[in-house]
Structure 1
């Protein structure tokens, strides 16, 4: 895989001031305001893929399309990392798969018969290697994306998948939308554990944008080389 040019990955965060994406009960709509949400749709339109984890897909039943006026001529591919194929057949991502290209990324441990119902509805299923720590291998996923000609990915969550990409050092940019609210430590964090023991292990980022959107703040970061 050393010669493969991986797609560029942008991580989107939409949080409270204290980095929470939902209350302890899971309530999250809407943390950020309408202007921030419009910017998110504009960013989606600039990427080949919009990617989420299975937890986000289960909790939010999202469409993951670009909703702007006018609608873009080409929608990004919708992709869910769902190693055990937990996405319900009734979810929008499945029921609209013939209209918008949709990919579920499962683990190699899944049986072909588990994929058949999704394929019958027009969903593509990629069976990829599982990482030693569990979950789909990030490098295997990016390698498959590269083979498919995918050059850019907009990663919208959740916290576990975002942490996996960061631990694999596979995030190039961060777009962080922050609302002027505080949820507290019992809220749901935007990132799962990165297992960092020392400040010498942290990744360094350069802020390249600071913009006020209504009551929110939008910051863009690029990874320092």
Structure 2
């Protein structure tokens, strides 16, 4: 097996774990014998343990001595109840280790590489580093900046509207594009929505793709006045999928207690200079809990606030061929832009046709 193919295989393995490994990153590992035959592979298990290297070594169908290991993130150097992944690779007898990205976690942060090199193993870094960094962008951002990665999911008409003037919005895009959007939910640790979307649509915010129901993310609702109906779908399912409500300290105390008694976590968020809830405060709280990635599904004011505060890393823009017109509701509300020089800019990453609709992915 060629080196590039082996690392791409490791990346593919890691991709299957995205959204189910927090607080750990999703890592892939492939092991070749000394003749470059594939003899083992694995990814980080759901829940974050065991790590990819241990799973790959446990799957061995041959002798790794003198062989090569490919890992998408630097093997950990810290010990818990088991030896570190770096120590496991040393013990296996591999001669070379290829690593896509160094681990910024202070418990490892180059220590894994030093352990390998001290044991006489050849270490090569940087193979498909861009792909590996993108794959675990949330983990890297949380460790380096104390924030999860934030992605917006927007479905709009061709002219950028999310509904008619009367609020009617079903359906802007086709069934396949909507199913693709549900697949996104399975790849994120947390999903966030504003209270207006919850009241209007009674959204469940879960993943309803067959076979992936258990991959539904933790739910966050931004609700400054605690307006959420107690019969909402997001509350009814709270025993299966946790719900966090971000609200202000001035919201109804009795309702707050009722929600807590029902199993909802209520977090009081301070307000920013514009008298809105400080979303950055909420994001930092998610980061402290170990959540790496956040998918935002409305509404337009939430999108605007996050973009204005430069908290958005990626936008999934599903666009249909329908035209609604100037009296339709805009996908992103005003953020008081007066000069184009100050417009928030994103770069196109990819564009695909999904059964008549278009999915554009934009990155900061």
Q: TM-score, normalised by structure 2?
A: 0.59
Query: Which residue of 2 is the match for residue 155 of structure 1?
Result: 296
Query: Which residue of 2 is the match for residue 131 of structure 1?
Result: 272
Q: How many residues are matched?
A: 221
Structure (1 or 2) with the greater helix fraction: 2
Question: Residue 146 of structure 2 contacts residue 288 of structure 2 at CA under 8 Å; is this kept in 1?
Answer: no
Query: Which residue of 2 is the match for residue 122 of structure 1?
Result: 263
Query: Which residue of 1 is the match for residue 79 of structure 2?
Result: none
Structure (1 or 2) with the greater strand fraction: 1
Query: Which residue of 2 is the match for residue 29 of structure 1?
Result: 170
**Which digits, 9 at most, give the CA deviation of each residue in 1:176-220, with x for residues without a partner?**
000100011111110110211111101221111110011101100
Query: Which residue of 1 is the match for residue 233 of structure 2?
Result: 92
Whole-angstrom distance in 1 between the partners of 2:215 and 2:363? 26
Identify which of 318, 340, 348 aligns with 1:177. Answer: 318
Moved more, 106-115 or 17-26: 106-115
Query: Which residue of 1 is the match for residue 132 of structure 2?
Result: none
Q: Does 1:59 align with 2:200?
A: yes
Secondary structure at 1:204's aligned position in 2? coil
Identify which of 101, 105, 111 aligns with 2:246. Answer: 105
Query: Which residue of 2 is the match for residue 42 of structure 1?
Result: 183
Identify which of 338, 357, 361 aligns with 1:197. Answer: 338
Whole-angstrom distance in 2 between the partners of 1:133 and 1:204? 22
Moved more, 89-98 or 71-80: 71-80
Identify which of 338, 344, 354 aligns with 1:213. Answer: 354
Whole-angstrom distance in 1 between the partners of 2:182 and 2:254? 35
Secondary structure at 1:182's aligned position in 2? coil
Whole-angstrom distance in 1 between the partners of 2:247 and 2:145? 21
Whole-angstrom distance in 2 between the partners of 1:39 and 1:71? 12
Q: TM-score, normalised by structure 1?
A: 0.94
Secondary structure at 1:118's aligned position in 2? helix
- RMSD across aligned positions (CA): 1.3
**Which digits, 9 at most, give the CA deviation of each residue in 1:110-144, with x for residues without a partner?**
25323111112211111111112122101111111
Query: Which residue of 2 is the match for residue 68 of structure 1?
Result: 209
Question: Residue 249 of structure 2 contacts residue 270 of structure 2 at CA under 8 Å; is this kept in 1?
Answer: yes
Cα pair distance change 1:207/1:7, threshold 3 Å: same
Runs of at least 5 residues in structure 2 that lack an aligned partner in the other structure: 1-143
Question: Residue 79 of structure 1 contacts residue 105 of structure 1 at CA under 8 Å; is this kept in 2?
Answer: yes
Query: Which residue of 2 is the match for residue 7 of structure 1?
Result: 148
Cα pair distance change 1:94/1:72, threshold 3 Å: closer
Runs of at least 5 residues in structure 1 that lack an aligned partner in the other structure: none
Runs of 4+ in 1 over 3 A off after TM superposition: none
Structure 1 residue 5: Cα displacement = 1.7
Question: Residue 148 of structure 2 contacts residue 294 of structure 2 at CA under 8 Å; is this kept in 1?
Answer: yes
In our comparison, the structure showing a higher alpha carbon Rg is 2
